[in-house]
Copies of this chain bind each other. A is one copy, B any other.
Amino acid sequence: MDIITIIGLTAAFLTTVSSLPQVIKTIRLKETRDISFWMWTFLSVGIFLWLIYGLYKKDLPIILANGISLFLVLIVLGLKIKYK
């Protein structure tokens, strides 16, 4: 595997799992006042559309990355709605 593929995969991994620390923090803290509702709404719709795009194009990396992202982002959005 060449260096640029490794950079791309690392980029995809980091952006995909980036919401996980927020999920953990919000479950522990039960506070979401400082978190923007609109950010997580835009992110949920955007990632959902990426997933549709990936499914249509039959592009496995796009499907996988955005499937995992959507799961995590929807948890944060749900917690934001629950604890607002």
List residues of A (1-54) whose CB comes within 8 Å of B's CBs: 4, 7-8, 10-15, 17-22, 24-26, 29, 31-40, 42-43, 45-47, 49-50, 52-53
The count of chain A contact residues (Cβ–Cβ below 8 Å) is 40
Which residues of chain B are within 8 angstroms of A82 by Cβ–Cβ distance? Answer: none
The majority secondary structure among interface residues of chain A is: helix
The answer to whether A4 touches B46 (Cβ under 8 A) is no
A7 pairs with B46, CB closer than 8 A: no
| Complex contacts, A18 vs chain B, CB 8 Å | 39-40, 42-43, 46
Q: How far is the CB of A70 from chain B (nearest CB, A)?
A: 11
Other-chain residue from B7, B8, B26, B49 in contact with A7 (beta carbon distance below 8 A):
B49
Q: Quote the shortest CB–CB distance from A9 to chain B (angstroms).
A: 9
Given contacts A11-B50, A49-B11, contact A42 B17 (CB under 8 A): yes
